[in-house]
Amino acid sequence: MSDIWKGYRPPWYEEAPAEKSYRSIFKWGDPLGFKHPNEKLYREIKDVFALSDDDFRTRKNEGNAPVRFNKPVGLKQTQVAKIAKIVGSENISSDQYDRLKYSTGKTIEEAMKLRKGIVDKVTDLVVHPRNREDVKELVKLCNRERIPIYVFGGGSSVNFGLRPAKGGITLVLSTHMNRVVRLSELNQTVTVEAGIMGPALEEALNHAPQKFGTRHRYTCGHFPQSFEYSSAGGWVVTLGSGQASSYYGDAYNLVISQEYVTPAGNFITKEYPATATGPKVNDIMKGSEGTFGVLVALTLKVYRYMPENRRYFGFIFPSWEAAVNASREVTQGEFGMPAVFRISDEEETHFGLKLYGIDGTIFDKAMQIRGFKPMNRCLMIGTSEGHASFTANVKKNITHICRQFGAMYLTGFAAKQWEPGRFRDPYLREDLQDFGIITDTLETGVTWENIHRVHQEVRKVVKARPRTLCLTHASHFYPQGTNLYFIFFAKMDEIKEYVKFQDGILDAIAKSGGSLSHHHGVGRMISPWIEKHLGKEQMAVLRALKKHFDPNNIMNPGGQLGLDLKGRDWRKI
């Protein structure tokens, strides 16, 4: 996409954030990574929010001030010394900047605060364990001395999952505990330390013949939008899902075995493809979000990496209903699942065609001629992966189904336009927020029976607010249903207003019967809804497990998963 503008181009922020500034903490990803709105998107935004170029002259609340706050370290000097003795003094830090950095996730609420220099909860001490033995010693010490432990993997939590509500220490697993331990070509598994980041893992697997002497290249098949800034351990303890999950499965399905360090002891689950030896502790630990113990290593399934066989496709449908029906037919057709698979509702399609550069092209003209009208038409994009004969057959069947549902084939163009930027959309956030526009997301799992109800109820709430965009897509498919991923754009400055807005949407999801989260996890943000959602009997099961693993509540205490939440306001813990 060219970025030569015909009209006024706002001064998008284009340097690295000031060193040790608030901005360097809340900014997504690479300090020099940017994805600016293109001119079409910019015009649309001006339109929607009734803004003029003048509103885009000066950036506000950039957050470039150096981090400074007055929160004394809550640990005793003797405790700090004991921790230093375990991991080495070079692996601890009580520097203010470090304390804030490793206490912060990627919610818009945190960004709003940091832009204003407001510092909420911070850890007392940042600790970089070198290996599992360090973690064992740390957990033992902290359990004995009742020091809270928080774990920072990639730091991409969007629900306050690593908020150090009770101070204590934050373990940063990605600093040292980031190795590939073993690749088994026979078993098609990889064993890694939990702090390994997505790209390092994928790089190693893609180059397995050179690095491990394997016959084939491999992929982990897990590509969340946060891929570049999330860790393998984080994927599993928060139940993440990748953009190609419809074929490869969610993080939950990728895990063969795990090694945990908990106050109640340490263990490695067995490495079997399947077993019938009672309830699976391996599965019980998934989604525990740091409340049971520290995940230090894990063995994941891998898949043969055959990008040469990837097929791309795109279709435009006359309506959302047609897109939903076609995608359901695809998931239930028993010919194999596509990898990336994504349908956008009317509003997201409208923006997506601009964002991915389709708007105004020959495809757009063909669509208009054939009667696929803006704000009715809905986009589907996807890929198929695997053996060449499989990917060809999947694409062929999908094409056949989409035509039955009145769709027009758009070639692989849209999917190919989408692909290179697929991890980069979060970069848009800073540009818009520099001019007072927030963009945020919430997501839910739905059955096919319930998809329209949840979609409509959420839109009702969002659209009740004037000049607020609600872009929705479904992007993780199963024969039994899918997810709904909502992206909001609003002109909003006040944190209170934002929180109220968000609460209203979560209420709508809960009331209309969606899951409280499909793949973002619970953290603290969702915790006020969780007990009602699961029911008190199921919450009691989780609390019984918590009590078993962590009787002194040192593992991620203060609202996480709603386990120790009294009342609804975790912000006050």
Site for its own copies in 180-239 (CB under 8 A): 184, 186-189, 238-239
CB of 144 to its own copies, least distance (A): 18
Least distance to its own copies from the beta carbon of 301, Å? 6
Residues 451-490 that bind its own copies (CB under 8 A): 476, 478-483
Minimum distance of its own copies from residue 372's CB (angstroms): 26
By CB under 8 A, what part of segment 128-187 binds its own copies?
A: 184, 186-187
Phi then psi for 157, rounded to 5 degrees? Answer: -55, 135
Size of site (CB under 8 A) for its own copies: 91
Contact between 124 and 535 under an 8 Å Cβ cutoff? The reply is: no
| Structural contact between residues 252 and 277, judged by C-beta atoms closer than 8 angstroms | no
Taking CB under 8 A as the rule, does residue 516 contact its own copies? yes
Residue 339 in tokens = 């990898």
Alpha-carbon distance 278 to 165, whole Å? 36
- Specify the DSSP element, H or E, that contains 219: strand 218-219
Told to check if 272 binds its own copies by CB under 8 A, we report: yes
Told to check if 533 binds its own copies by CB under 8 A, we report yes
From the list 91-99, 105-113, 455-463, 537-545, the region that binds its own copies by CB under 8 A is 537-545
- 437, 520, 528, 556: residue in contact with its own copies (rule CB under 8 A): 520
Residues 112 and 207: their CA atoms lie apart, in Å, by 41
Site for its own copies in 323-342 (CB under 8 A): 328, 332-336
Task: Name the residue nearer to its own copies (CB basis): 456 or 480.
Answer: 480
Q: Which of 561, 564, 565, 573 binds its own copies (CB under 8 A)?
A: 561
Out of 446, 462, 474, 484, the only residue in the binding site for its own copies (CB under 8 A) is 446
User: Encoding tokens for residue 507?
Assistant: 């209420």
Binding to its own copies, residues 12-41 (CB under 8 A): none
Choice from 81, 366, 540, 566 touching its own copies (CB under 8 A):
540
Q: Which is nearer to its own copies, 175 or 184 (CB)?
A: 184
Shorter beta-carbon distance to its own copies: residue 55 or 329: 329
**Comparison of 112 and 300: residue with beta carbon closer to its own copies:** 300
**Please, which residues have CB within 8 angstroms of residue 496's CB and are 6 or more apart in sequence?**
none
Residues 6+ apart with CB under 8 A from 206: 217, 218, 219, 305
User: What is the CA 90 to chain-centroid distance, rounded?
Assistant: 31
Nearest distance in Å: CB 360, its own copies: 37
The residue among 116 and 453 lying less far from its own copies, judged by its C-beta, is: 453
Bridge partners (DSSP) of residue 489 are 439, 469
Among 271, 419, 425, 493, binds its own copies (CB under 8 A): 271
Candidates 16-24, 80-88, 134-142, 543-551; binding stretch for its own copies (CB under 8 A)? 543-551
Residue from the set 55, 61, 140, 390 that interacts with its own copies by CB under 8 A: 390
Among 397, 417, 433, 512, binds its own copies (CB under 8 A): 397
Q: How many other C-beta atoms lie within 10 A of the C-beta of residue 232?
A: 32
- By DSSP bridging, strand 378-384 and strand 341-344 are antiparallel
Chain-centroid distance of CA 492 in Å reads: 23
Contact between 217 and 206 under an 8 Å Cβ cutoff? The reply is yes
Q: Nearer to its own copies by C-beta: 124 or 443?
A: 443
Q: How far is CA 341 from CA 21, 385, 415, 451, in A?
A: 38, 11, 10, 16
Scanning residues 60 to 89, which ones bind its own copies (CB under 8 A)?
Answer: none
Question: Tokens standing for 20?
Answer: 């040790």
- Mapping DSSP to helix (H, G, I), strand (E, B) and coil, where does residue 443 land? strand
DSSP secondary structure of 226-290: TGGG-BHHHHHHTT---TTHHHH--HHHHEEEEEEEETTEEEE----S---SSS-HHHHHTT-TT
Specify the residue, 50 or 541, whose C-beta has the smaller distance to its own copies: 541
Is residue 517 close enough to count as binding its own copies by CB under 8 A?
yes
Opening angle at CA 519, ends 513 and 520, nearest 5 = 100
Q: Single out the segment in contact with its own copies by CB under 8 A; choices: 85-93, 97-105, 429-437, 528-536.
A: 528-536
Shortest distance (Å) from residue 542 CB to its own copies: 6
Stretch 229-268 residues interacting with its own copies (CB under 8 A): 238-241, 250, 252, 256, 264-267
CB atoms within 10 A of CB 5: 12
- CA-CA distance, 229 to 349, in Å (whole number)? 27
As a whole number of Å, the end-to-end CA separation of the chain is 47
Tokens of 273: 């493809």
Residues numbered 284 to 303 that lie near its own copies (CB under 8 A) are 284-289, 301, 303
Q: Using the minimum distance from each CB to its own copies, give the nearer residue, 250 or 346.
A: 250
Least gap, CB of 558 to its own copies (angstroms): 16
